[in-house]
Amino acid sequence: MNNNNYFSIQDIAQIGLMVAVIEVSKAALAFLPNIELTSFWLIMFTLYFGWKIIVVVPVFILLEGSIYGMNLWWIMYLYIWPLLVLIAWLFRKNTSAFLWAIISGIFGLCFGALCSIPYIVIGFSTGGFVSGLRAGFVWWIAGIPWDFIHCGGNFILMLVLYKPISLAMSKMGLKQL
């Protein structure tokens, strides 16, 4: 943003490109179950573009809802992706590919547990507290094998891509915050 608190043309272009990179990467890997670059790009864009990620995330979420329809998974996106951005922001000074791979892997492992929250709420509203916990727990447990794949994919992708993408960002004149 410039001094007038307006988005510059460059800001708008960068935000659009970040969303496009995330969407294209997501589509390119859609044939692989729970292997995605969304986590990777949200972390990297948080590290290199700072405040602009605050606009990228809702635009990405709205675009996803527009393409695939707004269902229960979309509600999950409303808090899951901002949480990842917050975590990346808190650790933004770190430049260790291994630490970022661990963070990204843990996020993938926790993805199913985070997604169980709406099931807890729905179960609670229809059958009480125990019913809600049971609904969320069953949903989470059923998806644990996929969470392990998500964890491994996130870990490996971050470990392999962090340094080359960081180098590319620095060659474009960007610095990690």
Q: How does pLDDT run along the chain (177 residues), one tens digit per residue?
A: 656 678 899 999 999 999 999 999 999 999 999 999 999 999 999 999 999 999 999 999 999 999 999 998 999 999 999 999 999 999 999 999 999 999 999 999 999 999 999 988 888 777 777 888 888 899 899 999 999 999 999 999 999 999 999 999 999 999 998
Q: Which domain holds residue 117?
A: 9-171
- Let me know if residue 3 belongs to a domain: no
pTM of the model: 0.93
The answer to the question of residue 176 being in a domain is no
Q: Which of 9, 22, 98, 74 is nearest to 53 (CA)?
A: 22
Any domain includes 62 = yes
Q: Return the closest-CA partner of residue 120 out of 168, 54, 75.
A: 75
In a domain, 160, yes or no: yes
What's the number of domains the chain is made of? 1
Please check whether residue 1 lies inside any domain of the structure: no
Question: 125 in a domain, yes or no?
Answer: yes
Radius of gyration in angstroms for the set of CA atoms belonging to the chain, rounded to a whole number: 17
DSSP string, 42-59: HHHHHHHHGGGHHHHHHH
